[in-house]
Amino acid sequence: MVNLKINNIPVTVPEGTTILEAARIAHVEIPTLCYLKDVACVGSCRMCLVEATGARGLVAACVYPVTEGMEVQTNTPKCRKSRKTSLELLLSKHKKKCLSCERNHNCELQRLSAEYNADEDYFEGEPFDKPLDTSAPYVVRDQDKCINCNRCVAACQKQSVGAIGPIGRGYNVHVGSAFEMPLMESVCVGCGQCIVACPVGALKERTTVDDVWDAIANPEKKVVFFTAPSVRATLGEAFDMPVGTNVEGKMVAAIRRLGNVEVFNMDVTADLTIMEEATELLARIQNGGTMPMFTSCCPGWVKFVEQKYPEFIPNLSTCKSPQEMFGALLKTYYCEKNGIDPANLYVVSIIPCTAKKYECTRPEMGGEVDTALTTRELARMIKTAGIKFTELPDEEFDNPFATATGGGAIFGATGGVMEAALRVAAKALDGNFEIVDFPEVRGTSPIKEATYNVAGNTVRVAVASGLANAEEILESIKAGTRNYDFVEIMACPGGCVNGGGQPTLPDSIRNTANLKELRANALYKSDKDNTLRSSDKSPVVEVLYNEYFGAPNSHKAHEILHTHYTADKRI
């Protein structure tokens, strides 16, 4: 342990702790721009400079380790002047279109500039004339707003994708894809982790909010929304509610007030996915199919396989994701039941992920989902409509797609798909199996492994979140050092609760709170409170099979609920 003082406050911390980390214990906030917990720590923005005994000049608190007896001052005139100058230099290269920026009032550069009274015109920069990169259907890059903090680069590298990086040197350095190619032509998988890492408005989702407003206003269109499991655990953050607040009832009420729309629960098709996926897994185990089987719910992960590990495409489950299953279900069963022309049904998916926007455009999916909106886009629609979100009463989803099980709810957390599948598969192997909690696959650890013995069958499973951890799993399978029967992969660290379409929170929260755990806890509580825990107990799924599909993995189910994937040799 090391003893030091920060602003004359005694602090004791473990050896190796940085000044920035020690300051938090003393309840002192040191400003940062390039630093982001678990993502980036390079000390390049110079916003966290402090004075410390034993150091020559100012030091970067995010990378400078504490020493015994050190005395740190974080708020001296020298520190404040340095930070103000750094801000004014950054502002000279930043396109200051704050009023029309997606991040207005939620921008770290804007907040710090106000706090330090920085003059945005103190230094004159060059003209802002770099074109927007709108090549991808899920993200827009505005190079003129980039402040070269490289947090997006670090996030992409942490994902083992490397679609973007610094180009050039000195004053001319900028972030881009190799050979200045458009993002859609790069190896980007659309996970959106770069967006939530960006402290300014240089990266944002490619919005289709105006299309949705147009559809709602069109009397010839019937508009239906459905919401992904994790959105209820994060939407409240956009309205300053505590992280991990379950706002399912308010979310439904808010969407219903956007116009003449119906609101359905995507947990229903999470349950349907489990029925199809668990049945597929058992068939592969019993019939000698391609093993191990990988989940295919996450389009960022699927694209990663198609580009970098095409040899594993046969291992992917053929099941569509819950989003695409719902779209297919609405454009077939729902339209037939209600005498609706599918061309007049406008389907809106509310998702935590930017890769889902890409998934909607995949020809293999048939265009059943007309558009996907991120959690952030839904929040903006609610605010535009003047809806007082926190004052809304709780309301229920619309029938016939309202009731789902706890197995569907936990889809949004890493390990949730695995646990939901194990509940159904174990019961299929042993009709008397009653266990529904599988704690071994829960939690935010990057890789989790477990072995289960059911009715004489040994099932070896693994769960990984974050594509670097997925890569470790794939490489070990190729090397023969790991052997599994079933593997769940989610592209975003922590799963959908930490997706690239979730609310962008200030660094003061992101660098201190465990977002992944707090958000996931809301989903697990929803599961625990549900009287229906296993997807095979869903009354909606039972009706769907009795009235329409016949049985899991039937010919009709394969036609509507399954798909295929193709190698994309960009690497």
Task: State the catalytic residues.
Answer: 277, 280, 297, 317, 356, 359, 364, 496
Query: Using a CB cutoff of 8 Å and minimum separation of 24, what contacts does 175-180 make?
Result: 175/143, 175/146, 175/148, 175/150, 175/202, 176/143
The tally of CA atoms less than 13 A away on the side-chain side of residue 462 is 22
288 Cβ neighbours under 8 A, 6+ residues apart: none
531 Cβ neighbours under 8 A, 6+ residues apart: none
In terms of residues, how long is the chain?
Answer: 571
> Are β-strands 203-205 and 139-141 bridged in parallel, bridged antiparallel, or unpaired?
antiparallel
| β strands within 446-542, DSSP E | 447-454, 457-465, 486-490
Decide: 232 and 245 in contact? Cβ < 8 Å.
no
Q: Report helix angle 108-115 to 77-92, nearest 10.
A: 130
Q: By C-alpha distance, which of 301, 227, 515, 274 is closest to 416?
A: 274
429 Cβ neighbours under 8 A, 6+ residues apart: 282, 454, 455, 457
Q: By C-alpha distance, which of 3, 64, 6 is closest to 32?
A: 64
Instruction: Dump the DSSP string for 358-388.
Output: HHHH-GGGTT-S-EEEEHHHHHHHHHHTT--
Q: By C-alpha distance, which of 471, 566, 553, 483 is closest to 281?
A: 553
Q: What are phi and psi of 105, to 5 degrees?
A: 70, 5
Q: By C-alpha distance, which of 95, 52, 72 is closest to 8?
A: 72
Copy the structure tokens of residue 558: 């394969």
Distance CA 305, CA 390 (A): 41
143 Cβ neighbours under 8 A, 6+ residues apart: 130, 133, 174, 175, 176, 202
Distance CA 341, CA 183 (A): 36
Which residue blocks in 142-208 are alpha helix, DSSP H? 151-158, 193-197
